[in-house]
Each structure stands twice: as C-alpha cells, then as structure tokens.
C-alpha cells in the first residue's frame, strides 16, 4: 500500500527504527488479543519459526532493534510489505480469497446501509460484521457492505464482534479500535492503545491467491462517543486507512 499511495513518506530510516522498536511488543499482544493465545506457533513452510511469540527463543534480530533487513532501509519494500511477507504463512484461521471478496460486499446482518451518509448503522446491541482490508479503487482501505471506510454506528452498551480479514496479497494490515484522533500517529502500533479491551488485531500477513488470514475480535462499548477504527501498520492510518466507530 505504501508504494501504491506513497505512504512511505515516513522515510525509510524512520520506518526501520519504528518497526524495529515496536514489532515484538505488538506481535505478541496482537496474537493474544486476536484469540491465538493457544495457537501452536510451529515452523512454517517459509522456514520461519513463530515459537518466540509465545515466549520461546529465536526472536529475529530485526524485531529486537538489531540487524535490520536491507529492505527496511530502503532496499526492496516498505514496512507493511516486509511484515506482510514475513507473516504470510503464520498460523491462524484463513478463508478462501473468493469468500473474502464476497464478505467485503455483503451487508452485515441487522445493519442499515446509508450510502448517502456513507454509514453502516446497527440497531441491535449484538453487533456482528466483517471488515476486509483490500484495494478500494486506487488505494487500500477497509471495506464494509461494499463501501470503503464507512462510519459504523452502534448503540451504547453494545457487544461488538468483528471478523477482520486481510485480503491484500502484498501488504500487512491490521485493525484497531482507538480513541478519536489516535489514527493521526505515524506509528499507532506503539502509540495507540485500544479504546476497548480486546479491540485490536495489530496485523495479519499477506493473503495468497487461494486464501486470506482472518481473526475475530470481540469487545463491549459503553456510553455514547466517537472512536476510530484504523490500520495500525506504520503509515497506513495516516494515508487514509481509517473510519469512525460511532456509539450513538
């Protein structure tokens, strides 16, 4: 995405420092928040071991601020591209790529779509929806009900369940519900905490031609207010990969 919409305005050096300083923290937390606490992080087909995510050994040096891949220093890709490739074969649930694209267009059960207001509104306090990270026109974004980055409106005191899918074949993406304005950070993975307990999947790796990674998050909202849902991968939210979650 960075290369597609010039999101790499971070500068390669700054991006390398940011991603190295926060990746280990974010990855460990994301997998637990996303419900993978019991997952077996075994060696995958790409030769990478994920055991360190559960407190084991073998943490890559670049994730500890050590030796960084040349690509992170401006060689062959942006941070999102690096993260996407590194975790393309990470363990966890996946769905068919065709199903992911269908889910991006489907109207969530119990939702009212207002295309004029660019909003998806729920009246029930039991909210279920799918958010798909994918190409929306010439840039990346979140798709819900066939709309890019719509406002999502839910009643106060709701329980929200979001099935998040990364359908992008060459970029890592995540989903975090954060306080309004937190998406203005260049590095939300480090600076933005979820507005509600459990309301984050920090990132998922690349989709393939046949399948896309997915995770489900569940959280409760309280009083009325406006929050943001964002992609916390470096630079993505600033480039426009964000929308409003309105409790009203």
For the chain, give every domain's residue range.
2-86, 94-247
| CA distances, 162 to each of 154, 184, 190 (Å) | 12, 23, 22
Q: In CATH terms, is domain 94-247 a member of 3.10.310.30?
A: no
Torsion of CA 23, 25, 31, 35, to 10 degrees: -150
Give 183's Cβ-side CA count (13 Å radius). 22
Contact (CB, 8 A) for 193 and 135: no
Report the pLDDT value the prediction gives residue 115, as an integer from 0 to 100: 95
Contact (CB, 8 A) for 71 and 62: no
d(C-alpha 169, C-alpha 217), whole Å = 22
At residue 28, the 3 state secondary structure works out as helix
- Residue in 125, 128, 123 with CA at minimum distance from that of residue 108: 128
d(C-alpha 14, C-alpha 21), whole Å = 11
For each successive 10 residues of the chain (248 residues), what is the average pLDDT? Answer: 45 39 39 35 38 50 45 59 88 93 95 97 98 79 95 98 96 94 80 89 92 96 95 90 96
pTM above 0.85, yes or no: no
Report the pLDDT value the prediction gives residue 14, as an integer from 0 to 100: 38
């Amino acid at each position: 995405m960075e290369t597609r919409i010039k999101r790499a305005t971070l500068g390669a050096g700054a991006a390398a420092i940011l991603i190295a300083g926060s990746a280990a923290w974010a990855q460990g937390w994301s997998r637990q928040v996303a419900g993978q606490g019991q997952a077996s992080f075994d060696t995958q087909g790409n030769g990478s071991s994920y055991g360190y995510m559960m407190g084991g050994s073998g943490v890559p040096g670049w994730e500890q601020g050590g030796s960084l891949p040349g690509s992170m220093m401006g060689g062959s890709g942006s941070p999102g591209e690096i993260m996407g490739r590194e975790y393309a074969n990470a363990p966890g649930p996946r769905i068919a790529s065709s199903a992911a694209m269908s889910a991006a267009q489907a109207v969530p059960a119990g939702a009212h779509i207002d295309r004029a207001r660019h909003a998806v509104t729920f009246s029930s306090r039991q909210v279920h929806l799918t958010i798909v990270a994918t190409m929306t026109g010439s840039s990346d974004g979140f798709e819900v009900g066939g709309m890019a980055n719509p406002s999502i409106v839910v009643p106060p005191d709701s329980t929200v369940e979001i099935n998040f899918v990364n359908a992008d074949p060459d970029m890592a993406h995540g989903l975090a519900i954060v306080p309004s304005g937190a998406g203005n950070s260049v590095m939300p993975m480090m600076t933005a905490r979820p507005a509600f307990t459990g309301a984050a999947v920090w990132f998922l790796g690349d989709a393939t031609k046949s399948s896309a990674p997915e995770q489900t998050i569940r959280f409760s909202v309280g009083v009325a207010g406006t929050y943001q849902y964002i992609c916390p991968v470096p630079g993505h939210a600033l480039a426009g990969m964000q929308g409003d979650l309105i409790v009203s």
